Amino acid sequence: MKFMVGYQLMADSSLLDALLRCHEDIYEVYFAWGDIPNGRGLSTESLRLSPFEAQSRQFSELENLSKKGIKLNLLLNGNCYGGQSLSRNFFNKIGNVIEGLSERINLQSVTTTSPVIARFIKNNFPALQARASVNMEIGSTQGMDYVAEYFDGYYMQRELNRDLSAIKHLKNWCDTNGKELYMLANSGCLNHCSVHNFHDNLVAHEHEIMSMDNAFDFRGICHDYLAKKEKQISIIRDTNFVRPEDIHLYEPYFSAIKLATRTSRNPAAVLEAYVGRKYIGNVTELMEPNHAESLYPDILENSKFPPEFGERLLSCDKNCSQCDFCCNVFNKVKINLDKIGGSVCVNQ
């Protein structure tokens, strides 16, 4: 099994070094470009570099990855493009970016939330694969079929990560229809989050929002929700993360597995954990978003999870009111650092 890894500009070369070191395990590296809205913040606003400096350094690192034979995937996966969504100027800009990148780096595919962008790619850049973003929340064969003429592959809806029957059904449809199926392994998002679309729309307009005199700071509802002791069971029961130790269970069904690493404090550690199929430490540190701050001073020690955890959840009937498996696991893996005199670094 190979992995799709998210690129981010970092103060050091740890991520670039890890990608080059693990290149045989990399399916592709995905990245955002310039000021084009995507599923995270702007790629040019990093490390206190000017937009030009950030873009130059990003391009140099992408060139290094290309020289190693690593395929690259451009993210055009903003949840909203506002008034530009259908404009000729917007599509001219996208076309110019793709042409410029294709001349210098190993660009092989585009991931998008927009069927219009996907159609634009198919019509103008037929050598590139068009992929349906996980933010489209496609979780049925009907959903795949509706947009089959636009996309070559699909990221499966996160909430199905622990539903083997649904995975097999989607995989069979993709095989029959000549499509690729992918999954996201380490999301920290709550399943069926009521605010997910609202939050994704905010992120797409983040640059505009930051220029305003804002009355509120909104980071999503999950952080405050999980800070409540009685709700913290949701980290295990109501999310969809797959531990590195359980990746082998998914190998028959997916062309590659995506790792969310674009906002991780230590993306190299996330990559190496999944490549090595083992992690010792707070399991939330592998996730994006990372909920370590909400749980502190407690952590969930990954090495204490029972060996049958992944397989049990894949066959779970989701009848939580009649089952205490996740609750028992939560109590087993939870460690209070204050009681053992330890400490953990959390986001401020």
**Model confidence pLDDT, tens digit, residues 186-225:** 999 999 999 999 999 888 888 888 889 999 888 889 999 9
Provide the pLDDT for residue 47: 64
- Residue 346, pLDDT > 50, answer no
Q: What is the pLDDT of the chain when averaged over all its residues? A: 93
Provide the pLDDT for residue 344: 44
- Residue 272, pLDDT > 70, answer yes
- Asked if residues 17 and 268 have their Cβ atoms less than 8 Å apart, the reply is yes
Distance CA 280, CA 295 (A): 17
- Asked if residues 33 and 101 have their Cβ atoms less than 8 Å apart, the reply is yes
Amino acid symbol at 154:
Y
Provide the pLDDT for residue 46: 59
- Please give the share of the chain, as a percent, with pLDDT higher than 90: 83
DSSP label of 52: H
304 assigned to some structural domain: no
Distance CA 122, CA 149 (A): 9
The tokens for 16 are 């670039």
Distance CA 303, CA 245 (A): 9
Provide the pLDDT for residue 265: 93
pLDDT in tens, 133-166: 999 999 999 999 999 999 999 999 999 999 999 9
329 assigned to some structural domain: no
Number of domains composing the chain: 1
- Please give the share of the chain, as a percent, with pLDDT higher than 70: 95
- Residue 343, pLDDT > 60, answer no
- Residue 345, pLDDT > 60, answer no
- Residue 34, pLDDT > 60, answer yes
Q: E strands along the chain, which residues? A: 3-6, 26-31, 72-76, 107-112, 129-132, 153-155, 180-184, 256-259, 298-300, 334-336
pLDDT range class, residue 5, cuts 50, 70, 90: very high
87 assigned to some structural domain: yes
User: What mean pLDDT is predicted for residues 97-107?
Assistant: 96
300 assigned to some structural domain: no
63 assigned to some structural domain: yes
Provide the pLDDT for residue 206: 83
73 assigned to some structural domain: yes
pLDDT range class, residue 44, cuts 50, 70, 90: low
296 assigned to some structural domain: no
Provide the pLDDT for residue 130: 98
Provide the pLDDT for residue 348: 28
Tell me the whole-structure pTM to 2 decimals.
0.93
Q: Which residue has the higher pLDDT, 184 or 223?
A: 184
- Residue 347, pLDDT > 70, answer no
270 assigned to some structural domain: yes
Provide the pLDDT for residue 45: 61
Q: Which domain holds residue 112?
A: 3-290
Q: Which CATH number do you get for residue 198?
A: 3.20.20
Hey, is 82 helix, strand or coil? helix
- Residue 279, pLDDT > 80, answer yes
Q: Strand pairing of 334-336 and 153-155?
A: unpaired
